[in-house]
Amino acid sequence: MFSLNDKVVYPGHGVASICRVFERNIGAQSMVFYELKFQNKDMTIMIPKDKIEEVGVRTLSSSTSISTMLETLGQPARQIKSLESGASNWNKRNKDYQSKLRTGSLKDISDIYRDLKHISQHKELSFGEKSLLLKTEGLLVEEISASERLDEDKAIERLRSYLVPSIMMGSPKAPSFER
């Protein structure tokens, strides 16, 4: 499925390289493992080869997929009613967002990013919302950077350039999200 030095995406954590493929005996059974080293985190994990799909590890997105995702950022955000923007509804939205993050889907992550950017234009984001916005932006930037061989600053610039203009127009309530 994957080979040594392949770049892959681990759901919720981002881009990693397969730095080692090895076999280990677990009881009487011999198992093959992938060792993943994350590019922007001091973290390495081992995943049994037969669990790789179950975990959701996938190849990097193609340039076409990246372009499609960026184009969706130019579409209007999902309308979130003012009643939904309260603290109790943040818990419901957060549960949905966390579920989407676990899929590792580029589209799901970009939808979360677009929604939170939109919300930030109408109210100050809570700590949890800001954290999730930064996390989704980081995941998208990592994948754009790795897929298109761009440095992170260029990837951030590319990502932000596709947001609906009304989202990016300055608002006194809009927080700054510098990396």
Contact assessment for residue 146 and residue 39, using Cβ atoms and an 8 Å cutoff? yes
| Position 165 pLDDT exceeds 90 | no
pLDDT at residue 178 in the model? 45
Dump pLDDT digits (tens) for 75-94. Answer: 777 666 554 555 567 788 88
User: What is the set of domains in the chain, with CATH numbers?
Assistant: 7-59 (2.40.10.170), 63-168 (1.20.58.1290)
CA gap 162, 85 in Å, rounded: 24
Burial class (CB in 10 A: 0-12, 13-18, 19+), 29: exposed
Contact assessment for residue 159 and residue 137, using Cβ atoms and an 8 Å cutoff? yes
| Position 176 pLDDT exceeds 70 | no
* Mean pLDDT for the chain overall: 85
Furthest C-alpha separation in the chain:
63
Check: pTM over 0.85? Answer yes or no: no
Contact assessment for residue 8 and residue 2, using Cβ atoms and an 8 Å cutoff? yes
Residues in a beta bridge with 24: 31
Percent of the chain predicted with pLDDT > 90: 63
